[in-house]
Amino acid sequence: MADLVKEIEKRRTFAIISHPDAGKTTLTEKFLLYGGAINLAGSVKGKATARHAVSDWMEIEKERGISVTSSVLQFNYGGCCVNILDTPGHQDFSEDTYRTLMAADSAVMVIDASKGVEAQTRKLFKVCGMRGIPIFTFFNKMDRDANDTFDLVDEIEKELGIATCPINWPIGSGKGFKGVYDRNEKAVFLYSDTEKGTKEGQVERIELADEDALIAAIGQDAFDKLQEEIELLDGASAEFNQDEVDHGQLSPVFFGSALTNFGVEMFLNYFLQMTSSPLPRVAEGEVIDPMKEPFSAFVFKIQANMNKAHRDRIAFMRICSGKFDAGMEVLHVQGGKQMRLSQPQQMMASDRHIVDEAYAGDIIGVFDPGIFSIGDTVCAPGKKITYEGIPTFAPEHFARVRQMDTMKRKQFVKGINQIAQEGAIQIFQEISAGMEEVIVGVVGVLQFEVLEYRLQNEYNVEIRLEKLPYEHIRWIENPTEIDMDRIIGTSDMKKIVDLKGRPLLLFVNSWSVGMVLDRNENLKLSDFARN
């Protein structure tokens, strides 16, 4: 038991979130360098000959230089076993990010210091706020000209409604970037542009009290400005309070440059001190203690075809309590069956290794023969634990899908169903038509492009998408009480069913929803599916 507690206490599981191009994937790679997980960081953007980010494994990600799917990365550093959930920054993939945040105990928010809080940052922050998880802020790209530092910090407080506590403070930015002042250490760490992709490079430390050495290093003007800003900071900023950090009410703030690798190790060291081991979770009103309860986990992501050679499906599970041993019997709660989880593995993006054991806080991938759904619970037989399902986002864009070669019907049905089970797209059918008439709904339009690309490259199926004008979708909450044929609709309404056979209504105009409710007395509608 002591060993179990010791192992779980070492775990730190967090998600990295950001607006696109804020440098999130670059920061992730520098963490991996410190953990010794990789020797040379990949270049996220660039020519075909360039290295690609380790966490970007899909071909489309390498081509476009964006992350379109979450990836799971594990490494050891400073006595901790760190699980990073790297998420897509692009808003069109926010549903994947939302589900990934459900599996994290804290979040690192990466912000471009020259742009400040951007639209996607706000959206993701709201999800973190709903969960009340600790949020750490890393202002990136200080080696480029940045906004006023006080303005950046104020913007987080005003835009996101969370108090901030700067742990370090930058001295200049862009060509005038001299380094950072560590408020705890009362020392300045001087910036040097280390060779990109490495962790080498000397970081020189000068005590704040050693004024002569500091002036010689950064210049009189920068020294005077720093003294002034320290005084302002000490008087105006919130004091560090671990309890407020734990409850997502105070965000520790850091400054640095992921590309040149300055300030990353300082941030990682503080982050591991300020975050906790895996948090308890609630299952049907009961608090599940990660260290005392037997094994339990939930599925937060399903990914098909990670290995082109095997065309397999992997269900990613966040272990919430206890210890997992390869070969152990588990109960799949939703399926009501006992089973062994096949080929349990941990990931380094597309590289994987089979694991014999894993602990609360860890993420494991298991082979999925098609029985798991996102939100499912697995647990040790005996005590049945059921974690709350992960809500499904309502799609905002719709298209009719037509396959170009009708002889490839089997591949088409298999491909579109497998991609739908991953949660990236939702499939609907017109009530009068079979799979001949497939309607796809997505949260962001870029998902259409990913669907087209993946069907072509992974299933050898060419499709044509015909965009539809619908923008509003409602699930029928009481289908057993409603005769679908007798619903009095509007001219812009379409009746469809989802993959689980649940009836829905699509509308072009938002006001039509209210009109249909008025015309059908007993009809109850919802804008999300209840799992």
Tens-level pLDDT at each residue, the chain (531 residues): 668 999 999 999 998 888 777 787 788 888 888 877 555 444 333 333 334 444 443 444 444 443 334 467 888 888 999 998 876 544 444 566 677 788 899 999 999 999 888 766 676 777 777 778 899 999 999 999 999 999 999 998 888 888 999 999 999 999 999 999 999 999 999 987 655 545 545 678 999 999 999 999 999 999 999 999 999 998 878 899 999 999 999 999 999 998 888 999 999 999 999 998 998 998 988 999 999 989 999 998 887 665 555 457 788 899 999 999 998 999 999 999 999 988 888 765 446 678 899 999 999 988 888 788 888 999 999 889 999 877 666 788 899 998 888 888 888 888 888 777 777 788 898 876 555 678 998 877 777 887 888 888 888 999 999 999 998 999 898 988 988 889 999 999 999 998 788 899 999 999 999 999 999 988 999 876 655
CA pseudo-torsion sign 65, 27, 35, 263: positive
Which residue's structure tokens are 């105070």? 250
CATH number of 11-70+88-274: 3.40.50.300
Q: pLDDT at position 229, please?
A: 94
Residue spans per domain, the chain: 11-70+88-274, 281-379, 397-526
Q: Which fold would CATH assign to domain 397-526?
A: Alpha-Beta Plaits (3.30.70)
Separation of alpha carbons 29 and 86, rounded Å = 10
Alpha helices, H only, 67-111 = 94-101
Element (H, E) at 224: helix 220-236
Give the distance from CA 281 to its chain's centroid: 18
Are 474 and 525 contacting, i.e. CB atoms less than 8 angstroms apart? yes
Q: Are 500 and 463 in contact (CB under 8 A)?
A: no
Instruction: Specify the amino acid at residue 230.
Output: I
CATH number for the region 281-379 comes to 2.40.30.10
Query: C-alpha distances in angstroms, 41 versus 13, 117, 369, 474?
Result: 21, 27, 34, 45
pTM of the predicted protein model: 0.76
pLDDT at 348: 56
Angstrom CA distances, 138 to 164, 262, 271, 372, 519, stand at 12, 12, 10, 36, 52
280, burial (CB in 10 Å: exposed 0-12, middle 13-18, buried 19+): middle
**What does the alpha-carbon distance between residue 135 and residue 252 come to, in Å, rounded to a whole number?**
8
530 three-state secondary structure = coil
